[in-house]
Amino acid sequence: MRTSRTRRAAILRGTLGTLAVLLAVGTAAAAWAYWQLRASLPVLEGHLSAPALAAPVTIERDVQGVPTITGESRADVAWALGFLHAQERYFQMDGQRRTASGELSELVGPVTIALDRRNRLHRFRSRAERALAAMPPEERRFLETYVSGVNGGLAALSGAPFEYLLLGARSEPWTAADTVLTVYAMYLTLQESHGETERWRANANEVLGQAFTDFFLPLGTTLDAPLDGSRLPTPAMPAAGTKRSVSPPGTRFVDVEATHPGSNGFAVGGGLTENGGAMVANDLHLALRVPNIWYRARLVVRNSPGAPDLDITGITLPGTPSVVAGSNGRVAWSFTNSYVDTSDVVTLEPHQGKSDWYRTPDGPRELAFYKERLCRKCPQPEDLTVEESVWGPVLGTDLQGRKLAYRWTAHDPTAVGLSAALELERAENARQALAIAQRLRIPHQNIVAGDADGSIGWTVTSALPRRFGHDGQKPSSWADGRAGWDGYLPSDEVPVVFNPERQRIWTANARVVGGESLAKLGFGGYAHGARAAQIRDGLFANDRFSESDLLAVQLDDRGTLLGRWQTILAEALSARPHQRELARLLPHVENWGERAIPESVGYRLVRAFRSDIIARLYDAYTREVPPIESGTATTRRTPRVRTNQADEPVWRLITEKPPHLVPPGYPDWAAVIDAALAALVVAIDTEAGGKVAAFTWGAFNKADIKHPLSRAVPGISVFLDAPRDAQPGDVYQPRVAAPEFGASARFVVSPGRERSGIFHMPTSQSAHPLSPYYRTGHADWAQARASAFLPGNTRWQLSLQP
C-alpha cells in the first residue's frame, strides 16, 4: 500500500516538474518574443546622433504620435522625415517598393507570384534607374538625403521591424530607386496598368456591335455634375435586330458596386466663409489597411529669425520626402484621382508575317525581349519573358491574335520627380499652386486649391498626352504615323477653373469639364456622377461655411442615387401582396429613410435589389464578350464589364421595357423583376437566417481593416487589426465606405487658420502594436468626431544632433 502511494507521489512530482519546466520554457519564450517585439519600437525621446544633418532637428510628437519636425533646412527636415518613416513604417515601405518592382514574393513567398507576374511586365525597377538618371543633380542630392534618413531610422531600431521576425526574413537598406518605386506603386494603385477599359470596349464592340457597346458602356450619364454644367450625348437605345448576346445568363461575376481608388476634393471661396479665406476639404478614398497608407506630419523650417520659412501640415507617403496634401498657411490643396486618359493600347502590325517584328513610322522593328526571374528565393523560381515595343510592353493579344502594346505615361523617365512637389509645399497662392501642380510628376490627379485671400481653383496635375489621329477610347494602330502621341500638352492648354462666379468647386473622380477641355483630358474610366452631384448640391445648400459645415458635406450618407430604385422596389412589392416572404419587406422599403446607416434594413434591401438587377442584365447581355486575357504577362482574368456608369442604361431598360431587348433567359421584363425579388429573399435567408430585421446595412458594411500578415499568421489579428465597426456610408455618396475601402484620410482646412481645421485618419501613425499610440485616433475616424488638423501638445520630444 505504502509502495503504491510512494509511486503515485513520485509520478505527481514528475508531472508537476514537467509542467513547471514547460511553463518556464513557455514563459521564457513569451518573454523572448515580447522583448524581440519591443526591440523594434521607435525611439520617442532623448538625444540621437545624426552626423548627416547640417544642424540640429527637433521631433515633437503629440499623444497620437503625430510629429512636428523642426529644422534649419528643408534637407535636414527631409532626413528626419525619412528617419520617422523607417522607424514607424519600414515594412509598409518595403511592401510598396516590392509591389511596384514585382518582387513581393521574394519577401512573402509564392502566394504573391501572380501579382509579381502582372507588375513585372512594366519592369519598373529598370525604369526607376532611368528616372534617377534623368533627375537634376540638386533633386537627386535631396532624394539621397531622405534615403540617408530612412536608413538612419532603420539602423536606430534595436531590432528589425516585427513583421520580419514573423516572416523569418531580413530587411534590406533603402535606396533612391526605392523611392521612385514607391511612386510607381501609386501609379499601379491609381491607374490602369493593362489597358483594361480600352481592351474591354474593343472586345464588346467586336462581339456586340457599336450600338450595344455605346449604350451599355456610356462615357457618362445625365447624372454627371461637371463644373461647367456640360452634358454628354445620351446613347440611343439599341434598335430591334441589333446584334447582341443570345446566351442565357449563368454564373455572375459582375461587381456592380466595385470600389475604385478615388476621393472627394472641394472648396469654397472667401466670399462664403466668415474669415474671408478659402476653405478646402479632402477625403482620400483607397483600400484600407494596417498601417494606414498615409503618415501625418507637420514640417517646420526655421532658417532665419521671425516667421518660419516653411510651416506645412498634412499627409506624407512613407517612402517619399514631401507633403502630399495639406496646408502651408497660405495655400491648402486636395487631390482626387482624375481618371483622365493617360494611356493607350497600341495594336502592333506584324512585318512580313514575322510575329517578333512589327511596323513603325520609322520602318520595321524587332521586339525587345527581357528575361525576368520571379520569386528568386522560392523553391521553384519562375522565369518571365517580357516583350517590349517602342511604345511599351506587350500586354497580350486582341481577338484577331494581334499583339497589343501599352503606351503609358508611367513608363516615361520623367514620370517621377520631386522638384515640383517641393515647390508646391511653398506655394504662395492658389493660382501659383495650380501652375506648379501641372508640373508634378505623379499619377494624374485633380487638384483643388484655396488660399488665405479667398481664391480657389482646379486643374489636372502632371503631363497630359497630346493625341493625334485617335481619341484613345479603343486600341489603334500607330504603324503608319497617322495616329499616336505628339509629346505633351503645354501648360497653357491644360484646362483650369479659377475663381468661378459662385465660388464653389467640387471633384469626385467623375467628369469635371466638357467640350474641348474634355477632349484634351480624355476618358480614363470616370466614376459615376452621383457622388459629385451630391457634393455640389450640399455646397449650394448654404451661403456661409465653417469647417464643420464642410465636414457635414463630407459625411453625407444619403442614398440619393437609390431613390428611384426604392420607388420601383416598393411598387413591385405592393403588386405582390399575397407573397408573404415579399410582403414582409414592404414596411422596411417604404420607410427606408434614404440613408446608408448601420441600423437601416430598407437601405440594404433597396441597394441589394438595384445591384442584382444591374448585374443580372449586364451578365445576360454581355456574356458572349470574351474576358481580357493578358497572354504571357499574366494569367489573371479581368472582369467582363466595368459598371461605373451602369445605373442609367439599366434604369432606362427596366422602366421603358423595350420588348426587343428582353434579356436572354427571361420571357419578359416582369420575369426580371421576379428573379431579382427571389434573389433578395435568398439573400435574407442565407445572410440573416431569414430574419428581415437582421438584414441591416451595418451587418454588411463592417470595417475589415487588416494588417497584411494577419490574414496569413493565425492568432495575430486581435493584436494588429482595427475594430470591426459597422460603418455608415456607401460607394455612391460623399461618405464613401465599404468593408476594406473608404476615407484613408479626411480633412477640412482654411489656410492660415489651421488651428480650426479638422482631420480624421483610420488606424494610427504607428504600425507597431506595442506603440503607446497604436490605434489612437481611429475612433475619431470611425465615429466622425471632429479632431484637430494640427498636432496637439507635445507628449514626446526627440533631438537629433549632427
Sign of CA dihedral 698, 701, 707, 709: positive
Whole-angstrom Cα distance, residue 408 to residue 389?
A: 12
Whole-angstrom Cα distance, residue 752 to residue 311?
A: 10
Whole-angstrom Cα distance, residue 563 to residue 712?
A: 41
| Whether 332 contacts 455, CB under 8 Å | no
How does pLDDT run across 16-53, given as a tens digit for each residue? 665 555 555 445 445 555 667 899 999 999 999 999 99
Rg of the chain's alpha carbons, rounded to an integer?
Answer: 28
| Whether 408 contacts 472, CB under 8 Å | no
Residue 604 burial by Cβ neighbours in a 10 Å radius (0-12, 13-18, 19+):
buried
Question: Phi/psi at 82 (nearest 5 deg)?
Answer: -60, -40
Q: Which residues contact 90 (CB under 8 A, 6 or more apart)?
A: 150, 153, 154, 161, 171
Lowest mean pLDDT of 91-100, 498-507, 590-599, 619-628, name the range.
619-628
Please tell me the predicted confidence (pLDDT) of residue 259.
Answer: 74
pTM: 0.94
Q: Which residues contact 684 (CB under 8 A, 6 or more apart)?
A: 690, 691, 692, 695
Instruction: Look at phi and psi of residue 476 and say left if phi exceeds 0, alpha if psi is from -120 to 50, else beta.
Output: beta
Provide the mean pLDDT of the chain: 92
How does pLDDT run across 536-575, given as a tens digit for each residue? 999 999 999 999 999 999 999 999 999 999 999 999 999 9
- Helix, coil or strand: residue 713: coil
Whole-angstrom Cα distance, residue 281 to residue 252?
A: 38
Please tell me the predicted confidence (pLDDT) of residue 243.
Answer: 61
pLDDT class of 628 with cuts at 50, 70, 90: confident
H, E, C per residue of 361-425: CCCCEECEEEEEEECCCCCCCEEEEEEEECCEEEEEECCCCCEEEEEEHHHCHHHCCCHHHHHHH
The one-character DSSP state at 330 is S
343-347 vs 403-408, strand pairing mode? antiparallel
Whole-angstrom Cα distance, residue 335 to residue 316?
A: 13
Q: How many CB atoms lie within 10 A of CB 202?
A: 22
How does pLDDT run across 261-280, given as a tens digit for each residue? 889 999 999 999 999 999 99
How does pLDDT run across 416-446, given as a tens digit for each residue? 999 999 999 999 999 999 999 999 999 999 9
How does pLDDT run across 2-14, given as a tens digit for each residue? 556 666 666 666 6
Please tell me the predicted confidence (pLDDT) of residue 712.
Answer: 79
- Helix, coil or strand: residue 205: helix
